[in-house]
Structure 1
Amino acid sequence: MRIHLLLYFFICFIFNSLVLTAQNVSIQFQSITFEDGISDSRINHVMQDKEGFLWFATRLGIDRYNGQTMKTYQFLQEKQAEINTMLQSQKGHIIVATTKGLYFLNIENDRFELLKSQNAELDTHLDTNIHSIIQLKDGRFLCSSATGTIFSLSLEESKTEYHIFNFDKGSNNNYASALFQDVNGVIWMGTSQGALWFYNESEFVPSGFSKFNNTTYINEITADADGNLWIATNGNGLFNFNADLEQAKHYKKTNNNHSETINNNMVLSLYADKNDNIWIGTDGGGLNLYKKAKSKFHHFQSDGYNEFSISDNAILDISPGEDNVIWTGTVHGGVSYFKNNISLYNIPPSKLGMDHKDKQDSRILEAKNGEFWLTAGRNGLRRFNPKTGKTTIFKDDPSDKNDLSGNNILSLYEDSLGRIWIGTLYGGLNILNPKTNQFLKAENWSGLKAIFAIEKDGKGNIWVGSNSGITVYATQLNILHTYSVNSNIGLSSNVITCLYKDVKDDMWAGTATGLNVFKQDKFTSYLPIKEDKTSLSGSRILSIAEDDDLSILVGTYGYGLNRYVRSSDNFIRIGKDNGLEATFIRGIFLDDEKNIWCSTNLGLSKISPEGIVQNFDGHDGIEPFNNNKAEFGRDGYIYMAGTFGITYFKAKELKNNYSKNPNVFFTSISLINENGIEQVPFENHLKTNRLTLPQDNVVFNIGFATSNYWDPEKIIFAYKLEGLHEQWQTVGSQQTLYFSNLDPGDYTLKVKAINNAGNESSHIASLKITAMPSFWEKIWVKILMFLFFIATVIGFLKWRISAIKRQKLELELRVNQKTKLVEEQNKKIYKNNLDLLNAEKANQELKRKQLENELNFKTDELTNRTLREIHKNNLLDKIKNDISKVAKRNEDSERLKSIVNLIDDTLNLDKDWDDFYNLFQQVQPAFISNLKKMCPNITDRDVKLCALIRLNFSSQHIATLFGISESSIKVARHRLRKKLKIEENQSFQEFFESLRPKTAT
């Protein structure tokens, strides 16, 4: 058992070693060409300055690029000079070495000027062919000229110091062609005759490199992390020299072992990065990379079929930029640049028999024996053995019925017996035995079309999904079951797009109209429901997988990713709100760290177990997936196939290439006034960091950019204008701000960048803005206007006061006249009114007397009537007594008749009560009605009692009128008081007065 285990690990080790041996680094290049405004396709040198601007040295001059616009400084035509190199000093000065002297950028004048000193001897050296220039650690500049002179130069504002170095040139044609200072401060010099010198105390002396007999021109020198020197020659290849041991390794182009050496002996440029990789620019061999850790060379050449290849095979310069970008200047292709983030490896299509012209994507399958099977667009099938590098091609020959049937392959699957199942578009189902390279025929193999999915179920049977439903095969290749819409078992569509077996051995089928799961011999369908966000987001299913929590991941055609939660039996949608930018999810798998990888129409998306989404696209070396998908290998690699061959990488090593901390800088200023648009020379404001707006300015705009030239479209910006608002305003990817009608005063414009990971740049561009006031807004003008206003107001007040005084006098005269006239008229009116009042008074007095007489009359009449009532009652009393006597004495009938007559008299007296009421109503109008309103249940007897009390009749008279005793009257009065709710301290008369209606005064 141990022997088998050790053998297994040994085989895996050997296999991985072979894979790593065969691999080639994959790099995505971008270019800056004439379309971007570059003045010349030949770029001698590329430099990114401290602000983030790019500088390109060409034959026509120097181009400065800010990511939006290109500005060309042409200053060499008259002298017919060319630029050899350029640098930015420690203090930020741009210095250019040319064939006609040394130039520097005058920021105030925004032009390059020839460097001149006050020393005639120094000027003779400055005004020559300055072949190379470097800045030493002490701040001095070391220059070499084509005449053989080497001199150091100290550029200070107050004085210019220089020093001439001597070395034994040997001949007049020998000069310093390359200068370099290593980390230990040692200055190295390569010569035009191939020697390597170093500075020792006071002079340059030869190094031990001379014993290697190089006589070829040295173009450049650099050093790796171990301190070894790398020496580029102009035809004799590349040297790696250990100065301490005086040992060298020589790399030259050979016909064999391309991965062990350079591919061109003309080495024009070198750069050693921080990862100890050596980048080598050649003349015709493109860009070479030497990875010291693996002692392997990789070569990158221009490919007309690959838009992401380097633009030219002649590399004049290699320079580092910000954020791990490497810039290359080419002879014919302008500028090519790439992210130095090596994580992708590639097997080129030439080794796979792939056709550049067919842009059809490829499916890839890693077999158990380590071989790769991949489709070749419409050109059949490829079998690649990474151990031997051998590729076997399978194509459909119409004359051979035993070979591959159908060249357009849609799906691949390896069964437990190692057989490769191949689903085609029109050729049916193919099954290949890799051991014999023979194709096997399954039952009804030719009747299946558009086979997009093949999967094994829990019993080992193979499910084949086509446009006619699902066909289940046994290992003997006979059909066990067929499932379709016509089977009436719940399948939503016959067009099967993907199949998947979960850990519970349930089979999931994605179709053109929804998701299906097979349980207990029937399908359950899940379809998108409009306005139900817990349902599927889209109907056409492209991919299915299972997450670590056993939820089902479902990729759709155009509607993003879905997660089916078993416990709640619903779907959670994952899309742009969650950071997943793509909408077409063509493949899903989990890596060893439980990250979810999605093959999308934009590239790859990685979702961590915490739900953090990272999107990888062309800027990261990941091509979009149109009809294919990535596969996860057993060795931890992720594999992709296409017209670019096979690209693969370790899942845990792929990192986003987004810019982490780009500089933000201003690029342009335009003023808009009555005369139109005025472009302001920005360099002046760049130096002073201040902008002054003229008084007639109406609108101005400011452009800005970042040092991120790799994926600038993914940068968003925010700004604030201090003095106007203090809050940051997000403007998205917009790179121009417009302001209008700023009030006079001082402002500070600040702009910052935010990368596509949501991280803000620590560098904030700042520009102070002073808005000048107009003529009328100037302080002295405002003071004069204020004084003039005050004087005008005072003059007006004085004039107004004088006018008011005159009007007052005139008014007083008129008032006096009017007053007299009014007094006379008032006297007349008063006299007339007095006479009228007296007459009215007399008339009122007369009316009063008439009313008083009438009231007295009616009162007397009422009293008389009341007395008559009393008389009647007396009569009744007498009748009562007489009847009583007759009853006792039994007198005759004559006496009884007289009694009857008396009673008739009393009846006549009862009619007088009506007359009493009428008279009483005239004397006391509304008394009875108000009394009944206040006490609706009052009786007529009570009303009579109230009327008599109102007329101040005594209790004795009232008793007589009612024919009762005086004591009974007292009881009746007491009961009446309670019925009327009269308070104890209130008399009847006071209560009756309250019943009288209020009269207006």
Structure 2
Amino acid sequence: MKNIGLPKILNYKKSDYKGGSQNWDIEQSKKGNLYFANTSGLIEYNGTSWNKYILPGYTVRAIKISKSGRIYAGGYNELGYFEPDEKGKLVYHTLLKLANPNTKKTVDFVWKIHILNDEVFFQTFSRTYIYKDNKIRVLEAPNRFQFSFVVNNKLYFQDISKGLVEYRNGKLLPLKGTEQLNDTEIWGLLPFKGNLLIITLDKGLFIYRNNKLESWDCEANAFILKNNSLGGRIFNNEYIVLNSVLDGIVICNNEGKIVQHINNKKGLQNNTALSSFIDNTGNLWLGLDNGISYINENSPFTYLGSSFDLSSVYASAKYDNKLYVATNQGVFSHVWEGSFKEESFNFIKGTTGQAWNVNVIDDILFCPHNRGLFIINKNGSLTIVDDKKGYFGLKKLKGTNYFIASNYHGFSIIEKSAKGYKFRNQVTGFNLADNKYDTDGKNVWIKKNGVIYKLTFSDDYKKFSKITTYNSIDKEIEGITSLQKIRNTIYFQTDNRFFTYNASKDTFVEDLNMSALFKDLPKIRYCVEDNKGNICYFYGDSSMGMLMKEDGGYNNVIAPFTALTGNLVYFYESVNTIDSRNIFIGLTEGLAHYDPEFKSLPASSPKAYIRNFIFNQDTLFKANMPALKNTKIPYRANNVKFTFSSPIYDNPENTAFSYKLKGFDEQWSHRTNVPVKEYTNLQEGDYTMMVKVINSYGTESEPATAAFTITPPFYRHYIAYISYIVITVFSVFYIRRTMKQKIRKKHYYQTLEQRRLYLEKESKIKQEQYELEKEIERLKNEQLRVKILTKDKELVNNSLQVAKKNKMLNGIIKRLKEIDTEQMDDKLKLQFNKLQKTIQKELNTDKSWNNLEKHIKNVHFDFLKRLKEKHPTITPREMDLATYLLMNMSTKEIAEIMNISDGGVELARYRLRKKLNLPRKENLTGFLMSI
């Protein structure tokens, strides 16, 4: 147990684990998962994610994990166990149903659970329920149980009237002399040097030996009497963890001397520790009244940070039995006595501001500071060497009383005289500044902006008489990464290859031994040698390792320092080695104390788990299943998702996973901190998900695997392929048979078709012959009709001529009648009368007009019939007029035929239009032709 600084503390708030504030009990499974009895249920932490499981009554006060992995839990009016179902999900099973109905009503809180000789004890205030072989029997309290404990395979109870009693063969046997503790609560009972250590709530610590109870008078007891206690744990067989109500926890040795005190001021989120637990890696967990805390006790590192009033540390040095620390706020000191458990650092007055360094030269403590160069005296006062400019560092020039100091304007000479140290002069000729420089006495070497400068002093050290620049070390190597002094030799380094400067040839020569030393290391930025000959190297953005000097060689130590990754002060990394067990490293938030000889528990290989396997809206909790069986997934659910976990708690931020889906991925994935991987649209086939975890020390685990098979879609299943073959064979047979039938049927239908075509052709010929005959008949009829129409026209014309002749004859007769026959002689009168009679006879004997009307009616019989059907009210006279109009006769011709005037024809036409209901704009003749 380290007594300098504090271990790393990780705090988990209730918002992190999504539970209640109080955590009453802690257990760890074989797989490394941690379980907390929380006011809202059972909380599980697997190193990657938090999970919560509920039991009736919600509150869980006690848990215990059996060898089989069953998690027994007890809460308010409830007791039972959690066990994974067939899918690996933790499911709660109540045992209260096995108890006597009369005892169920008064269960109250289950405060403790113990497993002893295959029996599970659920202890409440009034009784203890003992579960074995799926049965429950009850152990009644003599008066009232307080709490119970198992020590060295023996079960003890505290009864408020009989004191401590031992359970043996179903009976409770009192421990003599413990009745005096009846007025207090016993919260802890621990094995102690072959006896019992009793931890009470408010009466302190007691040792029970030889049937006697005695107070343990020690530093730890005084702490408990002041702050009250809620139990404790044995830690590493050498120390005792004591939980307090008011002031966090203390860890004491077997003599009762407090080695560590951790409370709210030193990093805990709450001062009331309800429970404590040592996990399988030797680290401490605390169940607090509000939250959960992890304390990394099994580590060679402890930290001196804000609780010690330190901020970013740029350098540290031990001087006159004090530890001095240069920070961005100034210089602080602490008495070096090997114990830092209570005291904070003291501020050195006058050093307010950025202190770049503290280093001891010739038993003088120099402090290069933003405001100048100071000397810190043993009494804590300051001596100003130069306060005109800021300083980065100071190095002694061999063989002189001079020091070369790097300041904000370049370099200056500090002179040592009988009166002390004083500023001598600013070295002119070069005004660039940096804290990474060194000197061989004649030259100053400095790297700036990727260029190495060799600055050669003048004889009086007042200027640089020559400045030489080097852009590379070797023709084959570009650039220069760093310069550093190791074993009093200045080395120039690029790509882990180290060179020295040959002044006679003005070239760089590789030191093969040094290059070989760094050959297999990460690409470093620069390195520095401490005062014990160890070589500290820095790589990446903020990582380090150390080549520890031993037996004439070096041992590369890198794994422990991964705990510091990301916390070093970039470019101003500092390492202060005081002795083999005390190495201080500057951090952005204080100091880290490293003890290389710290005996930590051997680091076990990390273990990776496939936490969940999610597919088709179903989840398999693989991490809880005893065996990872092959899982068959239908093709429609070929999107799968995996979540990973690993019970690594010391540096969870540096835990990484690498995965490979065998059957899909060809290579392992790059390391990732995301514990989730999803695959979509996987083809059918056999797959194996492989996951390995890499802890913060770079150690890889054996891969965890989960095999699964994506079955093909029904149309690509092997049964489907057999069906395809059967169907193909049947199809070939069926098609061949069908083709033969088709060919025969085709021949048959071809014969029928030929016969049909022959018949059709014959029928067509007959039809064409018939149509031809009809056409001939039609043409004959048409010719005949034309002839008839022609004759009709001729007849009409003849009739009209006759009508004209008769009209003329009537005119002659009328004129003859106007002649006075009295003046004629008889002979002439006789001839006149004879002529008149001849004309009259001709008129009376002419029947052509009647024949004309009869002929017209016969020719246009169908027209007259249709006209009469459509217009029944039409008169014969109007029908004649319609016939004449159909024949396209003129008004004059119609007037002559009908023996009426032209005006009479127009009047008749008007009456006919009205009878036919024709609009004024419609042509009468056209209408008649359309009938």
- Asked if the contact 1:381/1:393 (under 8 Å) is kept, the reply is yes
Please list the CA deviations of residues 250-278 of structure 1 after superposition, one character each: whole Å capped at 9, or x if unmatched. Answer: 368xxxx6898458532224222335222
- Asked if the contact 1:597/1:606 (under 8 Å) is kept, the reply is yes
- Asked if the contact 2:274/2:289 (under 8 Å) is kept, the reply is yes
- Aligned mates of 1:483, 1:570 — CA distance in 2: 34
TM-score (structure 1 length as normaliser):
0.62
Verify: 1:363 aligned to 2:341, yes or no. no
Match of 1:195 in 2: 163
Match of 1:625 in 2: 569
- Asked if the contact 2:567/2:588 (under 8 Å) is kept, the reply is no
Change (3 A) 1:562 1:446: farther
Match of 1:497 among 429, 435, 441: 435
Match of 1:470 in 2: 411
Change (3 A) 1:110 1:429: closer
The code of the aligned residue for 1:45 comes to D
Question: What is the correspondence of 1:502-651 to structure 2 with a 5 Å cutoff?
Answer: 508-509=445-446, 514-516=451-453, 527-529=470-472, 534=477, 536-538=479-481, 544-547=484-487, 550=489, 552=491, 563-566=498-501, 568-569=508-509, 579-580=521-522, 588-590=528-530, 592=532, 594-596=534-536, 598=538, 602=542, 604-608=544-548, 612=556, 614=558, 619=563, 623-626=567-570, 627=572, 629-634=574-579, 636-640=581-585, 647-651=592-596
- Aligned mates of 1:733, 1:500 — CA distance in 2: 41
- Aligned mates of 1:781, 1:723 — CA distance in 2: 23
Match of 1:702 in 2: 642
Residue 636 of structure 2: SS of its match in structure 1? coil
The code of the aligned residue for 2:28 comes to Q
Percent identical pairs in the alignment equals: 14
Match of 2:204 in 1: 237
Change (3 A) 1:480 1:279: closer
Change (3 A) 1:696 1:302: same
Verify: 1:424 aligned to 2:369, yes or no. yes
Match of 1:150 among 128, 135, 139: 128
Match of 1:854 in 2: none
Deviates more, 1:34-43 or 1:512-521: 512-521
The code of the aligned residue for 2:36 comes to F
Please list the CA deviations of residues 714-766 of structure 1 after superposition, one character each: whole Å capped at 9, or x if unmatched. Answer: 3443445556689766654453333344455554433332334443324x433
Residue 422 of structure 1: SS of its match in structure 2? strand
Residue 558 of structure 2: SS of its match in structure 1? strand
- Aligned mates of 2:270, 2:523 — CA distance in 1: 33
Change (3 A) 1:606 1:126: farther
The code of the aligned residue for 1:474 comes to E
Match of 1:206 in 2: 174
- Aligned mates of 1:197, 1:533 — CA distance in 2: 82
Please list the CA deviations of residues 639-684 of structure 1 after superposition, one character each: whole Å capped at 9, or x if unmatched. Answer: 24678665533344498x9974233222233336xxxxx2535379
Verify: 1:250 aligned to 2:223, yes or no. no
Match of 2:120 in 1: 141
Please list the CA deviations of residues 436-458 of structure 1 after superposition, one character each: whole Å capped at 9, or x if unmatched. Answer: x665454xx233x2200112222
- Asked if the contact 1:191/1:217 (under 8 Å) is kept, the reply is no
- Aligned mates of 1:211, 1:622 — CA distance in 2: 56
Change (3 A) 1:128 1:480: closer
Offset at 1:96? 0.6
Offset at 1:211? 7.4
Verify: 1:378 aligned to 2:356, yes or no. no
Match of 2:295 among 328, 338, 361: 338
- Aligned mates of 1:422, 1:190 — CA distance in 2: 61
Offset at 1:64? 3.1
Offset at 1:701? 1.5
Question: What is the correspondence of 1:276-355 to structure 2 with a 5 Å cutoff?
Answer: 276-292=238-254, 295-303=257-265, 309-332=267-290, 334-344=291-301, 354=309
- Aligned mates of 1:639, 1:653 — CA distance in 2: 14
Verify: 1:668 aligned to 2:642, yes or no. no
Verify: 1:411 aligned to 2:379, yes or no. no
Match of 1:215 among 175, 180, 183: 183
Match of 1:798 among 699, 723, 737: 737
- Aligned mates of 1:126, 1:593 — CA distance in 2: 70
- Aligned mates of 1:89, 1:533 — CA distance in 2: 65
Residue 569 of structure 1: SS of its match in structure 2? strand
Verify: 1:754 aligned to 2:694, yes or no. yes
Verify: 1:101 aligned to 2:41, yes or no. no
- Aligned mates of 1:419, 1:350 — CA distance in 2: 29
Match of 1:882 in 2: none
- Asked if the contact 1:264/1:282 (under 8 Å) is kept, the reply is no
- Aligned mates of 2:27, 2:205 — CA distance in 1: 24
Offset at 1:566? 4.9
Match of 2:53 in 1: 73
- Asked if the contact 2:611/2:622 (under 8 Å) is kept, the reply is no
Residue 708 of structure 2: SS of its match in structure 1? strand
- Aligned mates of 1:679, 1:153 — CA distance in 2: 34
- Aligned mates of 1:808, 1:390 — CA distance in 2: 114
- Asked if the contact 1:456/1:462 (under 8 Å) is kept, the reply is yes
Match of 1:973 in 2: none
- Asked if the contact 2:286/2:292 (under 8 Å) is kept, the reply is yes
Residue 792 of structure 1: SS of its match in structure 2? helix
User: Over aligned residue pairs, what C-alpha RMSD do you find?
Assistant: 4.6
Change (3 A) 1:479 1:142: closer
- Aligned mates of 1:372, 1:204 — CA distance in 2: 57
Change (3 A) 1:314 1:686: same
Please list the CA deviations of residues 889-937 of structure 1 after superposition, one character each: whole Å capped at 9, or x if unmatched. Answer: xxxxxxxxxxxxxxxxxxxxxxxxxxxxxxxxxxxxxxxxxxxxxxxxx
Offset at 1:112? 1.8
Please list the CA deviations of residues 547-572 of structure 1 after superposition, one character each: whole Å capped at 9, or x if unmatched. Answer: 59x46377xxxx99874445753599
Question: What is the correspondence of 1:715-754 to structure 2 with a 5 Å cutoff?
Answer: 715-721=655-661, 732-744=672-684, 746-754=686-694
- Aligned mates of 2:487, 2:176 — CA distance in 1: 62
- Asked if the contact 1:266/1:282 (under 8 Å) is kept, the reply is yes
The code of the aligned residue for 1:343 comes to P
- Aligned mates of 1:327, 1:719 — CA distance in 2: 30
Change (3 A) 1:372 1:505: farther
Residue 648 of structure 2: SS of its match in structure 1? coil
- Asked if the contact 2:543/2:562 (under 8 Å) is kept, the reply is yes
- Aligned mates of 2:662, 2:539 — CA distance in 1: 45
Offset at 1:419? 3.5
- Aligned mates of 1:807, 1:120 — CA distance in 2: 91
Change (3 A) 1:317 1:562: farther
Offset at 1:115? 1.3
Match of 2:229 in 1: 267
The code of the aligned residue for 1:272 comes to I
- Aligned mates of 1:233, 1:560 — CA distance in 2: 62
Question: What is the correspondence of 1:50-129 to structure 2 with a 5 Å cutoff?
Answer: 50-76=30-56, 79=57, 82-108=59-85, 110-116=90-96, 120=100, 124=104, 127-129=107-109
Please list the CA deviations of residues 820-857 of structure 1 after superposition, one character each: whole Å capped at 9, or x if unmatched. Answer: xxxxxxxxxxxxxxxxxxxxxxxxxxxxxxxxxxxxxx
